[in-house]
Structure 1
Amino acid sequence: MKALILLAGLSLFTPLLHSCSNSPVDEGKVNDIQLDLKSQQLVEADNALGLELFSQVNAELKEDENLMISPLSISLALAMVYNGAEEDTKAQMERVLHKTGFSAEQINQAYKLLVDALGSHDPKVELSIANAIFHRDDFNVKSDFISTNQSYYAAEVEALDFKNPDAALSRVNGWVKDQTRNKIEKIIEEVSSNDVMYLINAIYFNGQWTYRFDKDKTADRVFYTEKGNELQVPSMMLEKTSLNYTETEQFQLLELPYGSEKYSMLIFLPHENYSTHDVIGDLNQAKLNNWLENLHQRNLKVYLPKLEFAYESSLVDNLKALGMNDAFDASRSNFSGISNRSDLFLSEVKHKSFIKLDEKGTEAAAVTGVTVAVTSIGPEPVFDVNRPFVFAIREKDTNAFLFMGKVNNPLRHE
């Protein structure tokens, strides 16, 4: 019987926001992030993978469903596994992860620099990134694999008795629950007799708005679904504020900053006769960068729906479609960097996320860009998020995208 590796990437986004006026939050000490060339190239590679997976997952989405993925969480979890891959398995992972031309040392060092910088960046934003490796206590793991992931990814490593599945489940899922502040309660449902290792990344984000919504002004407003149905959705209101904005033929883009404006939420709101599918389908790194460069200040009143939802997906088929096939095929996989056993392969890559958007928290806003054309706006310009939209949240010094998602129905919780 072939031994299995379960790879689990999960992310949580629940920003914190106090209701008040639209005055900026007081800033504490803020650290600028300056990445070296390899680290910046790694961020671009992660964003590219995230955009590819986002497009694929969106194409599979059922009507009325919401989605959210974390490119950083997925990339970090796969990077830990990459440290055990060899030969064709390793080469395929490099191509899919857009890491061809990087050495393993460069990848690991770049991630360490990025994660350390993000975690101590903005006092108004809490960002926790944690990694763990749980393995069967009778499974012999190579010391180099363990030490590499401990040194560069600060991975907690623990041997568990998989023959006592209840205890193993309790430990693994308990770690997940702790790292996500009780918002995601579990990542695995059962311990299979073939499972030998779980590699897990968890990201928790909590940020204060720079310009604060007033809870007293939240009220039900109409939200139009893509089929034209009307929903009554509690919506927040931000008084006219100078915010970064631009628009293209397909959509409007608004940037809502957090804290001292190192992190921000991007909202892509399709124009009439366009949909979120149009926005996501046209999205790539070059267009996105071009579009973000054209953001400019505009005074806007903002209406934004409250929402809270969880998302879960297996990414196995998506990664295979991108060319990462050998890792999931027991007859071709090579993870000899993990163990001397020749029968190791990945059986699952599960991704779970949770997001909450309300007056005490916020969410994210997302991507797409091409030719920028700014149209004239009347005396009372309003950015009214009253229809399906794409969102993303990014760190602005590095342009690292932590989360990407789409909201079809703000009232739907999963």
Structure 2
Amino acid sequence: MKTLSLFLSIALLGLSPQSCTNTPVDDSAVNTIELDIKSQQLIEGDNAFGLELFKAVNASLEEDKNLMLSPLSTSLALAMTYNGAEGNTKSQMEETLHKAGFSSQEINNAYQQLVAALKSHDSKVDLSIANAIYHRDDFQVNSNFISTNQEYYQAEVEALNFNAPEASKKQVNEWVNDQTRNKIEKIIDSVSPNDVMYLLNAIYFNGEWTYRFDKDQTENRTFYTEGGNELQVPSMMLEEVPLNYASTEQFELLELPYGKEKYSMLIFLPNKNHSTNEVIAGLGSAGLNELLGNLHQRNLKVYFPKFEFAFETSLQDALNTLGMTDAFSPMLADFSGISNRSDLFLSEVKHKSYIKVDEKGTEAAAVTSVTVGVTSIGAEPVFNVNRPFVFAIREKDTNTLLFLGKVNNPLRHE
């Protein structure tokens, strides 16, 4: 039986202040993103799906492991696949992805608008988003499926000789490596005889801090793990600057802006009697929006650990948990919009990510939405990230969540 394999790759890079785009951008350029109602509703749905997926993956995570996902990248890869779904498979994808009530045309139009706006938004942030479809050269793909993904997702499409598996694997992995600036070297380990198609999404983020940390102030400081261990971790220091801050009964929230402050990292630091898992369990898009509305400016000194790690997981179990079951069933899947064949199903949804945070900038993010809206002021003007935390990277005009993650151990690289 043939299988349709969906793969997802993500990388966040944020070390160099120079843009890696081919066209020079005026440093003064900054735009305000204005989207129509349908596009705004789609982003709300993406954020809700991303938070649910984040919770599901976190629930299966081994203790002490770091985690990072990209809600946007996952949604884009699955949206391309959705263009080929029919029947109950399509309905389940709509419910899981929070797209019920949208037409396919509205979904495609909204993503086309959003991606174009995000990529040209801030000259101090290099954000590239790329899609590709590689399929077996003797596999008949419906022309409408190809043309739709080319028009709305700018997907590169190429037929490969899967009977030469090493050459095909090399070409797919080279695309991933190129799109992620050599940070993710490969996404597939082998080309199976039953594979007929790979759908790929790659996101690269390179953001320079608005307020850069001073390298001379970086030194080893104690980091307390949730298991009770004490680690000596290279930690950065930022002298008092005006930053957005809020707090709840469970955690403190700090916003560190990038570039011209259109993108930012949200840091959710659990209070000492709470854990990262409790924070993540309480996340929801409505609560997060309320919390972000309660952010207020405060002069704070910040201590923040440097970290770098890669993350890899299969999303199949998490998507099954969220209700997208038929797509993975050889007997129930309906992807007749991709091909006239009746034996297509998803054999894998693979997710890889990479992040590095240092004095210049960052390439990772985490999303947290909290229902508690209580705001309070601490006694000391210090935000000391000396224990496990949750993080998110977002675009502020649209509140799009690009990345979600948590750091249990800053010294762990996977």
Match for residue 52 of structure 1? 52
Secondary structure of the equivalent of 1:392? strand
Question: C-alpha displacement at 1:369, in angstroms?
Answer: 2.3
Change in 2 beyond 3 A, CA 1:307/1:222: same
Match for residue 31 of structure 1? 31
- Whether contact under 8 Å (2:284, 2:371) holds in the other structure is no
Secondary structure of the equivalent of 2:308? strand
CA deviations over 1:106-142 (Å, ceiling 9, x no partner): 0001000000000100000010000000000000111
**Paired AA for residue 368 in structure 2:** V
Match for residue 178 of structure 2? 178
- Whether contact under 8 Å (2:68, 2:366) holds in the other structure is no
Match for residue 394 of structure 2? 394
CA deviations over 1:245-269 (Å, ceiling 9, x no partner): 0000000000000001000000000
Query: Does 1:160 pair with 2:160?
Result: yes
**Paired AA for residue 341 in structure 1:** R
Unpaired segments ≥5 residues, structure 1: 19-25
Match for residue 22 of structure 1? none
What is the aligned-residue identity percentage? Answer: 68
- Whether contact under 8 Å (1:16, 1:209) holds in the other structure is no
For the residues of structure 1 that align with 2:129 and 2:44, how far apart are their CA atoms? 19
CA deviations over 1:152-171 (Å, ceiling 9, x no partner): 00000000010111100100
- Whether contact under 8 Å (1:7, 1:349) holds in the other structure is yes
Question: C-alpha displacement at 1:46, in angstroms?
Answer: 0.7
**Paired AA for residue 299 in structure 1:** N
Query: Does 1:62 pair with 2:65?
Result: no
Query: Does 1:104 pair with 2:90?
Result: no
For the residues of structure 2 that align with 1:410 and 1:402, how far apart are their CA atoms? 21
CA deviations over 1:191-238 (Å, ceiling 9, x no partner): 000000000000000011111100111000000000110000000110
Match for residue 370 of structure 1? 371
For the residues of structure 2 that align with 1:171 and 1:359, how far apart are their CA atoms? 35
For the residues of structure 1 that align with 2:204 and 2:293, how far apart are their CA atoms? 28
Secondary structure of the equivalent of 2:352? strand
Residues 1-400 of structure 1 mapped to structure 2, 5 A cutoff: 2-16=1-15, 28-362=28-362, 363-378=364-379, 380-400=380-400
CA deviations over 1:11-42 (Å, ceiling 9, x no partner): 11121366xxxxxxx96110110000111111
For the residues of structure 2 that align with 1:151 and 1:187, how far apart are their CA atoms? 25
Secondary structure of the equivalent of 1:348? strand
- Whether contact under 8 Å (2:212, 2:361) holds in the other structure is no
**Paired AA for residue 4 in structure 2:** I
For the residues of structure 1 that align with 2:178 and 2:372, how far apart are their CA atoms? 44
- Whether contact under 8 Å (2:9, 2:203) holds in the other structure is yes
For the residues of structure 1 that align with 2:102 and 2:277, how far apart are their CA atoms? 33
TM-score normalised according to structure 2 size: 0.96
For the residues of structure 2 that align with 1:30 and 1:246, how far apart are their CA atoms? 26
For the residues of structure 2 that align with 1:227 and 1:366, how far apart are their CA atoms? 23
For the residues of structure 2 that align with 1:268 and 1:243, how far apart are their CA atoms? 14
Question: C-alpha displacement at 1:188, in angstroms?
Answer: 0.4
For the residues of structure 2 that align with 1:376 and 1:158, how far apart are their CA atoms? 56
Change in 2 beyond 3 A, CA 1:374/1:97: closer
Secondary structure of the equivalent of 2:199? strand
For the residues of structure 2 that align with 1:37 and 1:377, how far apart are their CA atoms? 38
Secondary structure of the equivalent of 1:110? helix
CA deviations over 1:284-318 (Å, ceiling 9, x no partner): 11111110000000110001100000000101111
For the residues of structure 1 that align with 2:310 and 2:165, how far apart are their CA atoms? 26
For the residues of structure 1 that align with 2:371 and 2:148, how far apart are their CA atoms? 41
Match for residue 21 of structure 1? none
**Paired AA for residue 205 in structure 2:** F
- Whether contact under 8 Å (1:17, 1:209) holds in the other structure is no
For the residues of structure 1 that align with 2:324 and 2:357, how far apart are their CA atoms? 35
Match for residue 20 of structure 2? none
- Whether contact under 8 Å (2:212, 2:360) holds in the other structure is no
**Paired AA for residue 267 in structure 1:** I
Question: C-alpha displacement at 1:376, in angstroms?
Answer: 3.8
Secondary structure of the equivalent of 1:203? strand
CA deviations over 1:329-360 (Å, ceiling 9, x no partner): 11111111111111000000001000001123
Question: C-alpha displacement at 1:325, in angstroms?
Answer: 1.0
For the residues of structure 2 that align with 1:187 and 1:66, how far apart are their CA atoms? 19
Change in 2 beyond 3 A, CA 1:17/1:163: closer
Change in 2 beyond 3 A, CA 1:376/1:84: closer
CA deviations over 1:345-393 (Å, ceiling 9, x no partner): 0000001000001123324354232333343434x51100000000000
For the residues of structure 1 that align with 2:400 and 2:220, how far apart are their CA atoms? 34
For the residues of structure 2 that align with 1:137 and 1:376, how far apart are their CA atoms? 62
Change in 2 beyond 3 A, CA 1:94/1:365: closer
How many pairs are equivalent? Answer: 405
Match for residue 23 of structure 1? none
**Paired AA for residue 395 in structure 1:** E
For the residues of structure 1 that align with 2:156 and 2:377, how far apart are their CA atoms? 54
For the residues of structure 2 that align with 1:371 and 1:358, how far apart are their CA atoms? 31
